[in-house]
């Protein structure tokens, strides 16, 4: 008899984000979000933010850059914006959920579009938006699929960005908490697993958090407001339903020293600390000493209100959700490194690893290393909520899609999780591969960079029928779930 490694209640599933998958631009009372003003791009052409200057001139800048003071996000009718349709879950949710159920999903990770619930991000509620997610959750639950909800995934209502300068303004905490309270009360009997912010360590620009200034002072002041908001949301959620499991979510990219030279080891330590900082605050409940020293050196002064530290301490999360796609390398001498592609940031080439077509290092053992490091450091349950392989998929003459490269990637990463559970004793509660159905790439805005088990007929210019087709990996994942990873 095969020994069972993964827990009986392990949450196998898949992950998506509203701005990359949902579509339904301005449908059903939805308001504008920052990501509605981000154009498409590709591996060599960056995505652009379109905006109007104070003088009313239409201009654009690279996604992630700082907008000029007084500039406001603008949707130009002559531009293509992938988020507006994405792959149209808004109109295909029943079909898609049926496909997820066919694969045997135990859970489905999705995000809720803030501007669909609160069109301006303020304390005005759009009932039609709430009703849409009611239908989605009811459809999931009818198949026995547990919703896993990311409350905020990489965007902010446009009004809050343009009028309040986003998360640099403390007022946004109250608006976010109202949003959370609305969700917690409405879906308290439908959703158990929540995460406050997606990849909180990558929230650093107008695109994601609505701030117009990207310097260190502005970035960390906004981060403090995010921490306070998350702490308050965790505490509020537990008051509304004590059975809620509310986690944080971080992009985890472990860095190895280039050599055993102590200076390289120190550089790797510094790199890893920057990611761990966000977990330290949200899991341990306080700012680590090394970060406070960094603030002193950089003249960063975090403006706090009385009680902020207590809120952060009392609002620690129940689990860590994290994305894992790749690892990187650190070196003390910049001339020794070669930069390649990476998840929301450039990464350093590791000569011992293969890379995807987009330059992302493929490092399954790095997932086991990450699980061990995080569990050793925090001793709370872990949830791999993103992991996947972006590639160009080809439809064969017979209509099949033979994505053996994706199956190979997943097999090796699942084995890494098995080892972390069986050999290292890691408490791992679930696994939701990223883009379980094809969606728009966050980094490049492309469709040809596909992650899904399900193919969606849509190209980089938004042309296509949106027809759904099963890839070979669909059947592989179905079998994996059926056998609980064994």
Q: Which residues are catalytic?
A: 386
**Pick from 275, 284, 287, 281: nearest CA to 324:** 275
Tokens 């159905």: give the residue: 437
Burial of 162 (0-12, 13-18, 19+ CB in 10 A): buried
**Pick from 413, 243, 237: nearest CA to 323:** 413
Going through 240-399 in order, the beta strands assigned E by DSSP cover 245-251, 255-257, 319-323, 328-330, 339-340, 347-348, 354-355, 361-362, 382-386
SS3 163: helix
How would DSSP label each residue in 319-346? EEEEE----EEE-S-GGG--EE--SSS-
SS3 109: strand
Tokens 């959370």: give the residue: 180
Which uninterrupted H or E stretch holds 50? strand 48-52
- 434, 413 in Cβ contact below 8 A? no
Computed over its alpha carbons, how large is the radius of gyration of the chain? Answer: 21
Q: Say how far apart CA 61 and CA 76 lie, in whole Å.
A: 13
- 363, 369 in Cβ contact below 8 A? no
Q: Say how far apart CA 7 and CA 122 lie, in whole Å.
A: 41
- 392, 357 in Cβ contact below 8 A? yes
- 112, 149 in Cβ contact below 8 A? yes
- 158, 34 in Cβ contact below 8 A? yes
Q: Which residues contact 282 (CB under 8 A, 6 or more apart)?
A: 200, 227, 230, 231, 248, 312, 316, 317
Note the helical H segments in 64-199.
89-103, 114-117, 127-142, 158-164, 171-186
Q: Say how far apart CA 353 and CA 328 lie, in whole Å.
A: 10
Token code pair at residue 362: 């493929």
Phi and psi based region of residue 288 (left: phi greater than 0; alpha: psi -120 to 50; beta: remaining): beta
């Amino acid at each position: 008899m095969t020994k069972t490694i993964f827990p009986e209640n392990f949450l196998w599933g898949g992950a998506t984000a509203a701005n990359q998958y949902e579509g339904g631009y301005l449908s059903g009372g939805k308001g504008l979000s920052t990501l509605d003003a981000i154009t498409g791009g590709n591996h060599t052409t960056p995505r652009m933010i379109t905006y109007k200057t104070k003088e009313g001139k239409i201009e654009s800048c690279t996604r992630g850059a700082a907008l000029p003071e007084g500039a406001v996000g603008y949707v130009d009718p002559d531009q293509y914006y992938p988020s507006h349709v994405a792959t149209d879950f808004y109109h295909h949710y029943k079909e898609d959920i049926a496909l997820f159920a066919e694969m045997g999903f135990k859970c489905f990770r999705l995000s809720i579009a803030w501007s669909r619930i609160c069109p301006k991000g303020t304390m005005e509620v759009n009932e039609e938006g709430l009703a849409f997610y009611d239908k989605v959750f009811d459809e999931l639950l009818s198949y026995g699929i547990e919703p896993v909800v990311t409350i905020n995934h990489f965007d902010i209502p446009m009004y809050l960005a343009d009028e309040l300068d986003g998360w640099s303004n403390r007022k946004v905490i109250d608006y976010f908490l109202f949003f959370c309270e609305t969700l917690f009360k409405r879906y308290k009997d439908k959703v158990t697993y929540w995460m406050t912010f997606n990849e909180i360590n990558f929230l650093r620009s107008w695109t994601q958090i609505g701030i117009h200034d990207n310097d260190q002072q502005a970035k960390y002041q906004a981060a403090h407001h995010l921490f306070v908001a998350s702490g308050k949301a965790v505490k509020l959620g537990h008051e509304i339903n004590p059975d809620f499991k509310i986690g944080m979510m971080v992009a985890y990219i472990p860095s190895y020293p280039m050599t055993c030279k102590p200076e390289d080891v120190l550089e790797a330590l510094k790199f890893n600390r920057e990611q761990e900082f966000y977990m330290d605050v949200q899991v341990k409940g306080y700012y680590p000493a090394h970060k406070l020293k960094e603030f002193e050196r950089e003249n960063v002064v975090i403006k706090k209100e009385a009680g902020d530290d207590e809120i952060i301490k009392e609002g620690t999360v129940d689990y860590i959700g994290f994305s894992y796609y790749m690892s990187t390398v650190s070196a003390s001498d910049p001339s020794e490194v070669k930069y390649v592609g990476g998840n929301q940031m450039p990464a350093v080439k590791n000569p011992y690893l293969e890379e995807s077509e987009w330059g992302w290092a493929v490092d399954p053992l790095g997932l086991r290393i990450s699980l061990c490091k995080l569990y050793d450091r925090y001793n709370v349950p872990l949830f791999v909520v993103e992991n996947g392989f972006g590639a160009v998929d080809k439809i064969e003459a017979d209509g099949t899609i033979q994505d053996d490269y994706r199956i190979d990637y997943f097999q090796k990463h699942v084995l890494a999780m098995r080892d972390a559970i069986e050999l290292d004793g890691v408490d791992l509660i679930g696994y939701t591969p990223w883009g379980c159905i094809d969606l728009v790439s966050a980094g490049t805005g492309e469709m040809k960079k596909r992650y899904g088990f399900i193919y969606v007929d849509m190209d980089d210019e938004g042309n296509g029928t949106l027809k759904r087709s099963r890839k070979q990996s669909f059947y592989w994942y179905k079998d994996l779930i059926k056998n609980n990873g064994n």
